[in-house]
Amino acid sequence: MQSLDQFSNDDLADALIRVTFEHFENTFADPRWWESLTTRERDALERRTGKAASQENREPSCLKEDGLPVARWRIVARQWL
């Protein structure tokens, strides 16, 4: 969580997508959002999901910005509880 907290609000949504697809095997996405992605973006996310399912070794940098901004929303606020 501390790593995610270091992202600006502008970059946090994409970071959360990377975390979700990299670490959670069973991920649901709104079909309208998924279909709005390019083939390259979908392929990149599917590769991340494959790592989650196989427990493949991850690179330490796997959650860093990857040049594929796929979030179609923005963070408006955040709060530690």
Overall number of domains in the chain: 1
Question: Which ranges of the chain have pLDDT less than 50?
Answer: none
Please tell me the pTM assigned to this model. Answer: 0.83
Which two structure tokens, joined as six digits, stand for 21? 């697809």
For residue 17, the enclosing domain spans 1-81
> Which pLDDT belongs to residue 24?
84
